[in-house]
Amino acid sequence: MPMNREWAITRLKKFLSIAWLKYVPNTRGLAHYRLGNTKDMVQGEAQIAEQILDRVLPDWRTADWEQPSNQPLWRHREAANRAIALLEAEQELLDNLGTGAPELDASTMHPWVWGSIQGLWSSGHFREAVGAAARAINAQAQTKLGRRDASEAKLLSDAFSTNVPTPGHPRLRLGTDDGGDTFRNVHDGAGNLARGLFSAIRNPLAHENEIELEENEALEYLAAFSILARWVDKATVETSV
């Protein structure tokens, strides 16, 4: 559950208002500060503030901040002020600095994908770009396999079959068949991915001409097609003897 930012700001400000300091002069020049409210009252709010600070500023207890002289709970107040500023500027920071999360860059995808969609992508035709990537992979697979009698899901599910190749049905191999489960799992998975991408993404998009994709959704689709493209590209072709 995400933090309730407004609540957190309100509770930190309440802590600061309760944990205010009273200046105590000293006739010998040793002035100091003391809490303006009772210790019990301040401790109650400090307990709640600490839970918030642990979430917003995880290193607040050990941060190398300049320590003022003779001020009780100075670190709590310093951290509370910093946390309030951070929470209040949260959206502004997000808008200008981003989340810091990894970003998906279409230009780093397999050349069969990015090379076939650059113009469409730059003009905002995201649905058509996904379709173009799918068509490019299909064309490359047909050429590699030397087949024009099958396409897309049917072509690639047959190509990644673990059955031995037969005349007219060459296979794509991502490794040597050693009779183990890994070989079968990899090729079954590749065939299933191809079926899923062409059946659940490519075909519906081809029949929904009026529905445009959001950019992030289109990127996710392209990333999946890029995986398939890499597998098809790196696979060796095995034909019947």
Q: What is the pLDDT of residue 234?
A: 96
Q: What is the pLDDT of residue 27?
A: 62
pTM for this predicted structure: 0.62
Q: Which residues contact 62 (CB under 8 A, 6 or more apart)?
A: none
Q: What is the pLDDT of residue 30?
A: 67
Kindly list the domain boundaries of the chain, sorted by start residue.
5-97, 106-238
Q: What is the dihedral of CA 216, 218, 224, 227, to 10 degrees?
A: -100
* Mean pLDDT by groups of 10 residues along the chain of 241 residues: 88 93 74 82 92 93 88 91 92 75 81 91 90 96 96 96 95 93 95 96 82 89 96 95 74
CA distance linking residue 166 with residue 116, whole number of Å: 32
The whole-angstrom distance between residue 188's C-alpha and the CA centroid of its chain comes to 27
HSE-CB for 162 with a 13 A CA cutoff: 17
Q: Measuring CA to CA, which residue among 197, 203, 199 is closest to residue 225?
A: 197
Q: What is the pLDDT of residue 81?
A: 95
Q: What is the pLDDT of residue 33?
A: 77
What does the pLDDT look like over 196-205, one tens digit per residue?
Answer: 999 999 988 8
